[in-house]
């Protein structure tokens, strides 16, 4: 259309500034030229002040209902805040606009805004405001917020229906996925993921792209481009240099900061550290609009910027045209909405303009509206104690401020709403819910309250609130207060001026106010968790076993209501066992809520946790991400080792307190001691942290290396204590760090750090021997899988290799892998000879004798033990004493198999004498356990019991599962001999259970034989022979003959059973036993 010149300069309703050059100005004018959204638009633009430094054009935007609003439109002379401020100041003074508007382009925060999205500035500020000091700039930013009614209107606005919006096709979804990978981003972390890939369609979509050969999965199971996918993504980008015409873009409302960011290598780190942490847009002019409106008394303003890049290395201009066009459409659409729904906010000549600008409350008495509290459709489970406590305190007025705090998904809001519902009648329907989830500026707290109460008031708003609550007992429920945490003192201010008011707050952390009563939203335990699960699953379960399984399932979810609801929704199609597997999946935190009427932040644990994570200070975020590498719990010292370079103080209470307050970290009361507190992270939050940490692969590797190095050093320190008199305490402390130690070992294996892996494995030898044979054996095999040090490599590493072979051989015996054990002992002996380590050589010979004992090769065992003794005699100190003791113990076992009990007892006493030199009760207890068996075979059950009970007592004190296993076996035989079959059964079942827990086959078989003896003595003869036959089959399969002593233990009782059965019955029992698996035999034995 042709522009005409005019001289007159009347006031206008809207001053519209296009943030960039003439091209963007023409785009904005063309959209307004209509028709636009069914409205005629601007018929003619008239030029004004064309010879002036600040020219503009004016037009009337006509609406479909015959009304209109006037617009002055211009562009900046140059980009940037200075030019924008000059343009705005000049035209505001000249035209007296009712509101300001701006469109243009910006950079969007990765993970918060997608390319093509339009960001409406909720808050705008200059990031570089502050005081210049010697080491740079000390930030002192001043935010300007969008007027609250306009802010709420912006949050309600949707992109669908705007000309540039289009629903994605399958081709669009594919292009988006490939382009996201091409930029080096994870599609699963993008805010637009749900737009392009529907709910529950992720796996299918990814598999289709894999089938097309466009992507593959890497070692971490994440999608990466194939060469063909990279070629196709690059080709599509090249073929479309002008960017898209239409996109399924979103309108996102959030903080925007203005500053020239072109020289910043990582602008997001800069702005989140020194400014508003939740900022989602970077550009150059929005703060000028907000500041000009505030300084020059323009009531309303709106800034919309389209996202053209993410201010990273992959930025280009292909989205610039779309971003400018879409942002202009959003601005015009918003202005139309305000003109139709709230004319006073946009028209400069309305009669009620003065009322709109008036400060303070209206002259007439304000009236509170009815409560906006709505009852949820599903039932509220338990928490009666918390409900009653809150209700009682708020009724009697003894507490006027209650903060319900807890981790994401703890049910804080639901508890508050239930209390509010209970008190609705008491407060005469004056209970109001103020949802702060979409408010990022603490200055908007009072404005948000007045919006809910439908109170029109000018500043100061607290005066209006004082009047509206005057003499009216009322309850405010401030949800999601963590969004405006810095406004805590304003809550106190409001309570001070409104004495009839009570306030209930839900937040991740307490407000830290003196008038505050804190109430933690406790986790649902036991029957409470079961009740919630069954309610949300809409099931009735009477079976006690299944109910207990569900209770254990909910407890593994830490009793978090959101987590329980997510899992329960899938109970109709999955068993409890399948749900347990789901919990162990790395995708569990991304599990979508099947309920459609929940807030977006509660659609998955990932979103709930991410919501709270984004509210942490950047330094706290970094600390949490590092702490997420821990397995189980950790100490203050361990935590400081990982985050010491991030914090000023190494006192855990200082750098961890913000995370403790928000329950990102919790105190592990079960594992803590008076002198050493411990901390842990709920597994879903830990998985979230690891997912975020893994986005920087190199940083993740460095943090894991720091973790592994700390626990390597810790294990070596405890290993030295285990060799001394602190063995018991060392074992206990190693057990507390069990998960972290094994995670460190896995890291060393993954990174092929053989030397560190060998160091850790060597020091854990005694721990695995005491606690878990099977686990230790598996880890040792993994370490040995790194390969033997080459000839000529450092001697210390070859020696470590030999010690690991020795440790693995000891545990291989307990797995009945006797051939492997013999091979490992030979390798250990070779290392001892090559490195001239007599101690290792003697140990290898001594342990090799155990293989001979297992195979009833008593002469070879005797020879190896006496050779080892000869070597030990040449050594000194503890090595000599313990080595001689071990050999004497072994010789005692050889003598007992030869039925020379006097010689066996003499060997055992000499062994105890050597151990006594270093007062090691644990090692002595192993000898006493062997003495118990010999005393029993020699016909002295009373002395046998004395020895067995001593071994049992020490086993409990040191939590030595091996000692407990063998002492229980001995006590079982003694009880059976004395006719106490119930006690005998209990002892054998205990021994069998402990053996299975350790993965130790021999005592498991011995326990089954003991239960066969119990069956025989109670005349369950067929069961006795079935058990014996099943054990015989397993022994034959394993190549493990029954020793003389083992035959003596069971012979007479089982002979009695055979005497009571016919040949046919004996044959049938033997046949059944030969077909009975070890697990089936175990179940049969438990029924004896």
pLDDT of residue 591: 56
Last residue of one domain, picked from the residues 580, 606, 632:
606
Position 151 in a domain: yes
Give, in order, the Cα–Cα distances in Å from 312 to each of 108, 254, 274, 327.
10, 20, 19, 21
- Residue 349: name the closest of 75, 85, 151, 67 by CA: 67
Let me know whether 485 and 541 are in one domain: no
**Measured in whole angstroms, how far is the alpha carbon of residue 555 from the centre of its chain?**
16
Position 136 in a domain: yes
**Measured in whole angstroms, how far is the alpha carbon of residue 687 from the centre of its chain?**
3
Where do we find the tokens 């001979």? 852
Let me know whether 600 and 478 are in one domain: no
CATH number of the structural domain spanning residue 463: 3.40.50.300
pLDDT of residue 813: 84
979 SS3 class = coil
CB 602 within 8 A of CB 626: no
pLDDT band at 350 (very low <50, low <70, confident <90, very high): very low
pLDDT of residue 734: 83
Report pLDDT digits (tens) over 294-315: 888 888 999 999 999 888 766 7
Rounded-to-10 torsion of CA 172, 174, 175, 177: 120
Where do we find the tokens 């036993």? 1073
Let me know whether 158 and 174 are in one domain: no
User: Which stretch of DSSP H or E encloses residue 353?
Assistant: helix 353-357
Let me know whether 537 and 513 are in one domain: no
pLDDT band at 953 (very low <50, low <70, confident <90, very high): very high
Report pLDDT digits (tens) over 512-557: 888 899 888 777 766 666 667 666 666 677 777 777 777 776 666 6
Let me know whether 444 and 496 are in one domain: yes
| Distance between CA atoms of residues 273 and 849, nearest Å | 65
Let me know whether 427 and 532 are in one domain: no
CATH number of the structural domain spanning residue 622: 1.10.10.10
CATH number of the structural domain spanning residue 189: 1.10.10
pLDDT band at 250 (very low <50, low <70, confident <90, very high): very high
Mean of pLDDT values over 625-637:
89
Overall number of domains in the chain: 6
100 SS3 class = strand
pLDDT of residue 149: 78
Report pLDDT digits (tens) over 833-850: 888 889 899 999 998 998
| Distance between CA atoms of residues 924 and 911, nearest Å | 8
* Three-class HEC string of 220-287: CCCEEECHHHHHHHHHHHHHCCCCCCCECCCEEEEEEEECCCCCCCCHHHHHHHHCCCCCCEEECCHH
pLDDT band at 354 (very low <50, low <70, confident <90, very high): very low
Let me know whether 976 and 1010 are in one domain: yes
Position 808 in a domain: no
Cβ burial 339-376 (10 Å sphere, 16+ → b, else e): beeeebbbbbeeeeeeeeeeeebeeeebebeebebeee
Let me know whether 511 and 573 are in one domain: no
- Residue 973: name the closest of 1053, 1078, 895, 1082 by CA: 1053
Report pLDDT digits (tens) over 1024-1067: 899 999 999 988 888 778 888 888 888 888 888 889 989 998 99
671 SS3 class = coil
| Distance between CA atoms of residues 487 and 440, nearest Å | 11
Task: Tell me the torsion sign for CA atoms 573, 576, 582, 583.
Answer: positive
Position 423 in a domain: yes
pLDDT of residue 274: 63
Mean of pLDDT values over 16-21:
79
Angle between helices 618-627 and 683-693 (to 10 degrees): 110
Position 761 in a domain: no
| Distance between CA atoms of residues 9 and 58, nearest Å | 9
User: Which stretch of DSSP H or E encloses residue 909?
Assistant: helix 901-916
Position 636 in a domain: yes
DSSP assignment of 504-531 equals EEEESS----TTEEEEE-PPP-THHHHH
Of all residues in the chain, the percent with pLDDT exceeding 70 is 84
pLDDT band at 684 (very low <50, low <70, confident <90, very high): confident
Tokens of 498: 């409104």
Let me know whether 601 and 616 are in one domain: no
| Distance between CA atoms of residues 641 and 629, nearest Å | 12
| Distance between CA atoms of residues 103 and 859, nearest Å | 94
Exposed / middle / buried, residue 923 (Cβ in 10 Å: 0-12, 13-18, 19+): buried
- In the predicted structure, residue 21 carries a pLDDT above the cut 70: no
- In the predicted structure, residue 680 carries a pLDDT above the cut 70: yes
pLDDT band at 376 (very low <50, low <70, confident <90, very high): low
Last residue of one domain, picked from the residues 185, 207, 239:
239
| Distance between CA atoms of residues 462 and 502, nearest Å | 15
767 versus 989: the higher-pLDDT residue is 989
What is the C-alpha end-to-end distance of the chain, expressed in Å? 99
| Distance between CA atoms of residues 545 and 551, nearest Å | 10
779 SS3 class = helix
Least confident of 131-135, 140-144, 509-513: 131-135
Report pLDDT digits (tens) over 574-624: 676 766 666 666 656 555 554 544 555 555 666 777 767 877 888 888 888
Name the range with the highest mean pLDDT among 101-115, 323-337, 694-708: 323-337
Instruction: Give the structural domain span for 547.
Output: 527-606
pLDDT of residue 262: 47
pLDDT of residue 361: 36
Let me know whether 403 and 507 are in one domain: yes
Let me know whether 276 and 411 are in one domain: no
pLDDT of residue 358: 34
Where does residue 96 fall: left (phi above 0), alpha (psi -120 to 50 degrees), or beta otherwise?
left
676 versus 830: the higher-pLDDT residue is 830
| Distance between CA atoms of residues 563 and 362, nearest Å | 47
Q: Any residues with CB less than 8 A from the CB of 383 and at least 6 apart, and which?
A: 411, 415, 418, 522, 524, 528
pLDDT of residue 275: 64
CATH number of the structural domain spanning residue 99: 3.40.50.1580
Last residue of one domain, picked from the residues 520, 555, 572:
520
Tokens of 91: 């035209």
pLDDT of residue 318: 84
pLDDT band at 6 (very low <50, low <70, confident <90, very high): very low
User: Which stretch of DSSP H or E encloses residue 46?
Assistant: strand 46-48
Least confident of 206-215, 291-300, 351-360: 351-360
- In the predicted structure, residue 364 carries a pLDDT above the cut 80: no
| Distance between CA atoms of residues 435 and 441, nearest Å | 13
- In the predicted structure, residue 359 carries a pLDDT above the cut 50: no
Task: Tell me the torsion sign for CA atoms 655, 658, 661, 664.
Answer: negative
CATH number of the structural domain spanning residue 1046: 1.25.40
| Distance between CA atoms of residues 760 and 964, nearest Å | 26
Least confident of 95-104, 391-400, 729-738, 790-799: 790-799
Q: pTM here?
A: 0.58
Position 598 in a domain: yes
- Residue 281: name the closest of 251, 247, 310, 302 by CA: 310
Mean pLDDT of the chain: 83
- Residue 505: name the closest of 404, 589, 633 by CA: 404
Position 897 in a domain: no
Let me know whether 233 and 144 are in one domain: no
pLDDT of residue 530: 65
């Amino acid at each position: 259309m042709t522009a005409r010149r005019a001289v007159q300069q009347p006031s206008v309703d809207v001053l519209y500034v296009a943030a960039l050059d003439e091209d963007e100005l023409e785009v904005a004018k063309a959209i307004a030229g209509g028709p636009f959204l069914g409205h005629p638009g601007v018929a003619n633009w008239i030029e004004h002040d064309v010879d002036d430094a600040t020219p503009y054009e004016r037009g009337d935007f006509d609406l479909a209902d015959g009304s209109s609003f006037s617009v002055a439109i211009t562009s900046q002379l140059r980009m940037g805040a200075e030019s924008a401020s000059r343009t705005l100041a000049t035209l505001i003074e000249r035209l007296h606009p009712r509101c300001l508007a701006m469109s243009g382009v910006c950079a969007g925060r990765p993970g918060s805004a997608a390319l093509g999205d339009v960001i409406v500035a909720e808050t705008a500020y200059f990031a570089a405001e502050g005081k210049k000091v010697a080491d740079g700039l000390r930030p002192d930013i001043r935010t300007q917020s969008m007027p609250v009614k306009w802010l709420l209107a912006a949050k309600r606005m949707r992109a669908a229906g705007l000309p540039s919006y289009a629903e994605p096709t399958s081709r669009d979804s594919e292009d988006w996925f490939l382009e996201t990978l091409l930029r080096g981003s994870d599609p699963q972390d993008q805010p637009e993921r749900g737009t392009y890939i529907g709910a529950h369609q992720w796996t299918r979509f990814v598999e289709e792209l894999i089938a097309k050969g466009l992507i593959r999965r890497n070692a971490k199971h994440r999608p990466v481009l194939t060469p063909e996918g990279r070629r196709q993504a690059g080709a599509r980008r090249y073929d479309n240099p002008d960017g898209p015409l239409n996109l399924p873009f979103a309108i996102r409302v959030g903080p925007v900061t203005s500053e020239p960011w072109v020289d910043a290598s990582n602008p997001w780190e800069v702005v989140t550290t020194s400014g508003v942490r939740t900022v989602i847009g970077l550009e150059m002019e929005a703060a000028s609009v907000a500041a000009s409106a505030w300084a020059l008394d323009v009531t309303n303003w709106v800034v919309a910027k389209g996202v053209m890049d993410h201010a990273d290395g992959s930025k280009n201009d292909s989205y610039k045209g779309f971003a400018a066009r879409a942002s202009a459409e959003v601005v015009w659409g918003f202005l139309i909405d305000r003109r139709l729904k709230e004319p006073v906010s946009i028209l400069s000549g309305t009669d009620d303009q003065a009322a709109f600008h008036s400060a303070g409350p209206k002259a007439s008495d304000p009236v509170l509206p009815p409560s906006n509290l709505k009852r949820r459709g599903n039932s509220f489970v338990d928490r009666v104690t918390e409900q009653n406590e809150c209700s009682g305190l708020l009724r009697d007025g003894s507490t006027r401020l209650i903060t319900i705090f807890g981790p994401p998904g703890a049910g804080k809001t639901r508890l508050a709403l239930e209390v509010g519902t209970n008190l609705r009648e008491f407060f005469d329907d004056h209970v109001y819910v103020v949802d702060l989830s979409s408010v990022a500026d603490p200055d908007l707290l009072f404005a948000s309250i007045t919006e809910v109460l439908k109170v029109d008031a000018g500043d100061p708003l607290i005066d209006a609130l004082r009047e509206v609550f005057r003499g009216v007992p009322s309850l405010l429920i401030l949800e999601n207060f963590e969004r405006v945490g810095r406004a805590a003192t304003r809550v106190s201010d409001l309570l001070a001026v409104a004495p009839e008011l009570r306030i209930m707050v839900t937040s991740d952390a307490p407000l830290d106010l003196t008038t505050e009563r804190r109430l933690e939203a406790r986790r649902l335990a036991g029957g409470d968790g079961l009740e919630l699960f069954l309610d949300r699953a809409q099931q009735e379960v009477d079976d006690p076993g299944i109910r207990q399984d569900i209770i254990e399932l909910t407890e593994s979810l830490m009793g978090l209501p959101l987590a329980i609801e997510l899992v329960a929704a899938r109970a109709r199609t999955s068993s409890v066992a399948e749900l347990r597997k789901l919990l162990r999946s790395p995708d569990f935190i991304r599990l979508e809520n099947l309920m459609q009427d929940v807030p977006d932040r509660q659609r998955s644990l990932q979103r709930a946790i991410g919501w709270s994570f984004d509210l942490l200070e950047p330094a706290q975020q970094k600390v949490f991400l590092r702490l997420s590498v821990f397995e189980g719990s950790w100490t203050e010292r361990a935590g400081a080792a990982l985050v010491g370079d991030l914090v000023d103080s190494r006192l855990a209470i200082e750098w961890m307190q913000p995370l403790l307050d928000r329950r990102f970290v919790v105190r592990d009361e079960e594992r803590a001691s008076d002198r050493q507190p411990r901390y842990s992270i709920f597994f879903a939050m830990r998985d979230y942290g690891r997912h975020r940490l893994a986005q920087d692969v190199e940083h993740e590797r460095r943090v894991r290396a720091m973790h592994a190095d700390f626990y390597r050093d810790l294990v070596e320190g405890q290993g030295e204590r285990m060799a001394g008199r602190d063995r018991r305490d060392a074992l206990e402390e190693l057990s507390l760090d069990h998960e972290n130690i094994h995670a460190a070992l896995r890291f060393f294996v993954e990174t092929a750090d053989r030397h560190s892996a060998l160091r850790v494995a060597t020091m854990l030898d005694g721990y695995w021997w005491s606690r878990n044979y099977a686990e230790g054996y598996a880890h040792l095999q993994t370490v040995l899988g790194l390969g033997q040090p080459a000839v000529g490599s450092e001697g210390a590493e070859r020696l470590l290799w030999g010690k690991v072979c020795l440790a693995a051989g000891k545990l291989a015996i307990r797995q009945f892998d006797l051939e492997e054990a013999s091979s490992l002992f030979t390798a250990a002996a070779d290392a001892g000879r090559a490195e001239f380590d007599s101690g290792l050589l003697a140990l290898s010979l001594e342990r090799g004798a155990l293989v001979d004992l297992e195979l009833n090769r008593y002469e070879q065992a005797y020879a190896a033990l006496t050779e080892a003794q000869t070597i030990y005699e040449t050594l000194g100190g503890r090595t000599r004493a313990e080595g001689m003791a071990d050999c004497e113990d072994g010789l005692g076992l050889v003598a007992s198999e030869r039925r020379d009990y006097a010689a066996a007892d003499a060997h055992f006493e000499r062994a105890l004498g050597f151990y006594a030199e270093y007062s090691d009760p644990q090692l002595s207890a192993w000898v006493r356990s062997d003495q118990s068996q010999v005393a029993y075979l020699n016909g002295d059950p009373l002395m046998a019991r004395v020895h067995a009970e001593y071994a049992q007592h020490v086993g409990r004190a040191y939590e030595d599962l091996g000692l407990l296993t063998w002492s229980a076996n001995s006590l079982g035989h003694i009880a059976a001999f004395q006719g106490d079959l119930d006690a005998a059964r209990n002892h054998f079942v205990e021994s069998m259970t402990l053996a299975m827990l350790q993965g130790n086959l021999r005592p498991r078989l011995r326990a089954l034989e003991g239960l066969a003896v119990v069956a025989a003595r109670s005349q369950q003869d067929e069961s006795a022979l079935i058990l014996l036959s099943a054990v015989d089959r397993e022994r034959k399969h394993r190549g493990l003959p029954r020793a003389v002593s083992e035959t003596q233990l069971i012979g007479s009782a089982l002979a009695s059973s055979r005497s009571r059965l016919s040949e046919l019955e004996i044959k049938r029992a033997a046949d059944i036993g030969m077909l009975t698996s070890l697990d089936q035999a175990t179940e049969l034995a438990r029924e004896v």
